[in-house]
Structure 1
Amino acid sequence: MFTTYIAGFDAGGGHTLLEGFREWLIVQVNGANNLVWEALVLMLAFPGETGLSSVRVDEERNAVAVGVLFDALERFLADRDGRPGGRNMIQAAYDQWLSQQSWMQP
Protein backbone atom coordinates (compact mmCIF):
# COMPACT_ATOMS: atom_id res chain seq x y z
CA MET A 1 0.00 0.00 0.00
CA PHE A 2 0.94 3.63 -0.16
CA THR A 3 0.80 4.09 3.60
CA THR A 4 4.52 4.75 4.02
CA TYR A 5 4.47 7.41 1.31
CA ILE A 6 1.42 9.11 2.82
CA ALA A 7 2.91 8.95 6.33
CA GLY A 8 6.14 10.49 5.00
CA PHE A 9 4.22 13.21 3.20
CA ASP A 10 2.35 13.92 6.43
CA ALA A 11 5.60 14.07 8.42
CA GLY A 12 7.21 16.35 5.85
CA GLY A 13 4.27 18.71 6.14
CA GLY A 14 4.47 19.04 9.90
CA HIS A 15 1.96 16.24 10.60
CA THR A 16 -1.00 18.29 9.41
CA LEU A 17 -2.26 16.25 6.43
CA LEU A 18 -3.57 13.38 8.53
CA GLU A 19 -4.64 15.41 11.55
CA GLY A 20 -7.93 13.85 12.63
CA PHE A 21 -7.77 11.00 10.09
CA ARG A 22 -7.40 8.25 12.70
CA GLU A 23 -10.34 9.60 14.71
CA TRP A 24 -12.43 9.93 11.53
CA LEU A 25 -11.62 6.32 10.62
CA ILE A 26 -12.53 5.04 14.10
CA VAL A 27 -15.99 6.55 13.70
CA GLN A 28 -16.27 5.07 10.19
CA VAL A 29 -15.43 1.52 11.31
CA ASN A 30 -17.21 2.00 14.65
CA GLY A 31 -14.38 0.63 16.72
CA ALA A 32 -10.71 -0.24 17.04
CA ASN A 33 -9.69 2.81 19.04
CA ASN A 34 -6.43 1.03 19.82
CA LEU A 35 -5.23 0.77 16.22
CA VAL A 36 -3.16 2.99 13.93
CA TRP A 37 -4.77 4.54 10.87
CA GLU A 38 -3.15 2.03 8.50
CA ALA A 39 -4.90 -0.85 10.28
CA LEU A 40 -8.17 1.05 10.35
CA VAL A 41 -8.01 1.43 6.56
CA LEU A 42 -7.69 -2.36 6.28
CA MET A 43 -10.73 -2.73 8.52
CA LEU A 44 -12.62 -0.34 6.26
CA ALA A 45 -11.47 -2.24 3.17
CA PHE A 46 -12.31 -5.68 4.54
CA PRO A 47 -15.24 -5.30 6.93
CA GLY A 48 -16.16 -8.28 9.03
CA GLU A 49 -12.72 -9.83 9.00
CA THR A 50 -11.55 -10.34 12.53
CA GLY A 51 -7.96 -9.79 13.53
CA LEU A 52 -5.49 -8.10 11.27
CA SER A 53 -3.45 -11.29 11.07
CA SER A 54 -6.32 -12.82 9.08
CA VAL A 55 -6.23 -10.03 6.50
CA ARG A 56 -4.35 -11.64 3.65
CA VAL A 57 -3.16 -8.94 1.29
CA ASP A 58 -2.34 -10.37 -2.14
CA GLU A 59 -2.18 -8.30 -5.33
CA GLU A 60 -5.96 -8.18 -5.78
CA ARG A 61 -6.70 -7.30 -2.17
CA ASN A 62 -3.90 -4.74 -2.18
CA ALA A 63 -5.66 -3.01 -5.08
CA VAL A 64 -8.88 -2.97 -3.04
CA ALA A 65 -7.07 -1.59 0.01
CA VAL A 66 -5.35 1.13 -2.03
CA GLY A 67 -8.68 2.17 -3.55
CA VAL A 68 -10.29 2.31 -0.11
CA LEU A 69 -7.34 4.29 1.27
CA PHE A 70 -7.56 7.01 -1.36
CA ASP A 71 -11.36 7.10 -1.21
CA ALA A 72 -11.21 7.44 2.58
CA LEU A 73 -8.59 10.18 2.35
CA GLU A 74 -10.70 12.06 -0.17
CA ARG A 75 -13.83 11.80 1.99
CA PHE A 76 -11.90 12.71 5.14
CA LEU A 77 -10.32 15.80 3.58
CA ALA A 78 -13.71 16.87 2.23
CA ASP A 79 -15.23 16.46 5.70
CA ARG A 80 -12.35 18.19 7.46
CA ASP A 81 -11.41 20.97 5.05
CA GLY A 82 -14.38 21.21 2.72
CA ARG A 83 -16.80 22.76 5.16
CA PRO A 84 -16.62 25.33 7.91
CA GLY A 85 -15.83 23.76 11.27
CA GLY A 86 -14.98 20.43 9.71
CA ARG A 87 -12.13 19.71 12.10
CA ASN A 88 -14.37 20.41 15.07
CA MET A 89 -17.14 18.21 13.64
CA ILE A 90 -14.73 15.30 13.22
CA GLN A 91 -13.49 15.70 16.78
CA ALA A 92 -17.06 16.01 18.08
CA ALA A 93 -18.10 12.81 16.25
CA TYR A 94 -15.11 11.00 17.72
CA ASP A 95 -15.82 12.34 21.21
CA GLN A 96 -19.44 11.22 20.89
CA TRP A 97 -18.29 7.79 19.73
CA LEU A 98 -15.95 7.59 22.74
CA SER A 99 -18.70 8.59 25.16
CA GLN A 100 -20.87 5.70 23.92
CA GLN A 101 -18.24 3.06 24.68
CA SER A 102 -18.85 0.99 27.80
CA TRP A 103 -15.18 1.18 28.76
CA MET A 104 -15.40 4.98 28.93
CA GLN A 105 -18.17 4.94 31.54
CA PRO A 106 -17.10 5.76 35.13
Structure 2
Amino acid sequence: MDGGDNLVWEALVMRLAFPEQSPGPDREELARNPALNEVAVGALFGLLDEFLQRRAKHNGVAKIFDEYGSRRRQLGRSGGAATATTTPSPMAAATVPTAAVG
Protein backbone atom coordinates (compact mmCIF):
# COMPACT_ATOMS: atom_id res chain seq x y z
CA MET A 1 0.00 0.00 0.00
CA ASP A 2 1.34 3.42 -0.92
CA GLY A 3 1.54 6.40 1.42
CA GLY A 4 -1.83 7.72 0.31
CA ASP A 5 -0.59 11.13 -0.80
CA ASN A 6 -2.17 10.62 -4.21
CA LEU A 7 -5.69 10.24 -2.79
CA VAL A 8 -8.45 12.84 -2.68
CA TRP A 9 -9.55 14.01 0.78
CA GLU A 10 -12.62 11.77 0.77
CA ALA A 11 -10.49 8.67 0.17
CA LEU A 12 -8.01 9.73 2.86
CA VAL A 13 -10.79 10.12 5.42
CA MET A 14 -12.24 6.73 4.50
CA ARG A 15 -8.80 5.12 4.73
CA LEU A 16 -8.32 6.49 8.26
CA ALA A 17 -11.90 5.82 9.38
CA PHE A 18 -11.91 2.21 8.13
CA PRO A 19 -8.29 0.99 8.13
CA GLU A 20 -9.37 -2.66 8.10
CA GLN A 21 -11.27 -2.19 4.83
CA SER A 22 -9.83 -1.24 1.51
CA PRO A 23 -11.06 1.09 0.12
CA GLY A 24 -13.85 1.31 2.71
CA PRO A 25 -17.59 1.69 2.28
CA ASP A 26 -18.85 3.58 -0.75
CA ARG A 27 -21.33 6.46 -0.63
CA GLU A 28 -24.34 4.19 -1.13
CA GLU A 29 -23.27 1.94 1.74
CA LEU A 30 -22.76 4.97 3.99
CA ALA A 31 -26.25 6.21 3.08
CA ARG A 32 -27.77 2.82 3.97
CA ASN A 33 -25.86 2.26 7.21
CA PRO A 34 -26.11 5.07 9.81
CA ALA A 35 -23.43 3.51 12.03
CA LEU A 36 -20.86 3.51 9.21
CA ASN A 37 -21.85 7.04 8.25
CA GLU A 38 -21.39 8.18 11.85
CA VAL A 39 -17.86 6.77 11.90
CA ALA A 40 -16.98 8.48 8.60
CA VAL A 41 -18.44 11.85 9.64
CA GLY A 42 -16.74 11.62 13.05
CA ALA A 43 -13.41 10.91 11.35
CA LEU A 44 -13.84 13.84 8.96
CA PHE A 45 -14.62 16.37 11.69
CA GLY A 46 -11.95 14.95 14.01
CA LEU A 47 -9.30 15.33 11.32
CA LEU A 48 -10.50 18.83 10.42
CA ASP A 49 -10.40 19.85 14.08
CA GLU A 50 -6.88 18.46 14.48
CA PHE A 51 -5.72 20.24 11.33
CA LEU A 52 -7.20 23.58 12.42
CA GLN A 53 -5.63 23.28 15.88
CA ARG A 54 -2.21 22.48 14.43
CA ARG A 55 -2.49 25.27 11.83
CA ALA A 56 -3.40 27.84 14.51
CA LYS A 57 -0.19 27.22 16.47
CA HIS A 58 2.91 29.37 15.98
CA ASN A 59 4.39 28.46 12.56
CA GLY A 60 1.66 25.85 12.21
CA VAL A 61 1.31 26.05 8.44
CA ALA A 62 5.07 25.89 7.95
CA LYS A 63 5.34 22.87 10.25
CA ILE A 64 2.55 21.07 8.38
CA PHE A 65 4.29 21.68 5.04
CA ASP A 66 7.67 20.64 6.51
CA GLU A 67 6.21 17.35 7.79
CA TYR A 68 4.62 16.69 4.42
CA GLY A 69 7.87 17.44 2.57
CA SER A 70 9.87 15.22 4.91
CA ARG A 71 7.40 12.38 4.43
CA ARG A 72 7.51 12.77 0.63
CA ARG A 73 11.32 12.70 0.65
CA GLN A 74 11.37 9.63 2.87
CA LEU A 75 8.81 7.83 0.72
CA GLY A 76 10.79 8.72 -2.40
CA ARG A 77 13.89 7.07 -0.97
CA SER A 78 11.94 3.91 -0.13
CA GLY A 79 10.53 3.54 -3.64
CA GLY A 80 7.19 5.18 -2.85
CA ALA A 81 5.99 2.74 -0.22
CA ALA A 82 5.83 3.36 3.50
CA THR A 83 8.43 1.42 5.45
CA ALA A 84 8.93 0.52 9.09
CA THR A 85 11.31 3.48 9.37
CA THR A 86 8.77 5.94 7.98
CA THR A 87 7.41 8.24 10.64
CA PRO A 88 3.71 8.69 10.01
CA SER A 89 2.29 12.17 10.09
CA PRO A 90 0.44 13.03 13.31
CA MET A 91 -2.57 13.78 11.10
CA ALA A 92 -2.46 10.23 9.74
CA ALA A 93 -2.23 8.83 13.25
CA ALA A 94 -5.31 10.73 14.39
CA THR A 95 -7.66 8.96 16.71
CA VAL A 96 -10.76 8.18 14.76
CA PRO A 97 -13.99 7.71 16.73
CA THR A 98 -15.49 4.28 16.34
CA ALA A 99 -19.08 3.15 16.50
CA ALA A 100 -20.73 -0.21 16.60
CA VAL A 101 -20.75 -1.36 13.03
CA GLY A 102 -22.90 -4.23 12.09
- TM-score using structure 2 length: 0.63
**Aligned match of 1:93 in 40, 44, 67?**
67
5 Å matches for 1:59-98? 59-81=34-56, 83-98=57-72
**Aligned match of 1:40 in 12, 17, 33?**
12
* Cα-to-partner distance string for 1:51-105 (whole Å, 9 max, x where unaligned): x2x4253221011110111111101000011x1100000000000110111236x
Gapped regions of structure 2 (runs ≥ 5): 81-102
Q: What RMSD over aligned residues (CA atoms) do the two structures have, in Å? A: 1.8
CA distance in 1, matches of 2:20, 2:39: 15
CA distance in 2, matches of 1:92, 1:48: 29
CA distance in 1, matches of 2:79, 2:20: 22
Gapped regions of structure 1 (runs ≥ 5): 1-29
Is 1:49 aligned to 2:21, yes or no? yes
Query: Which protein has the bigger helix share?
Result: 1
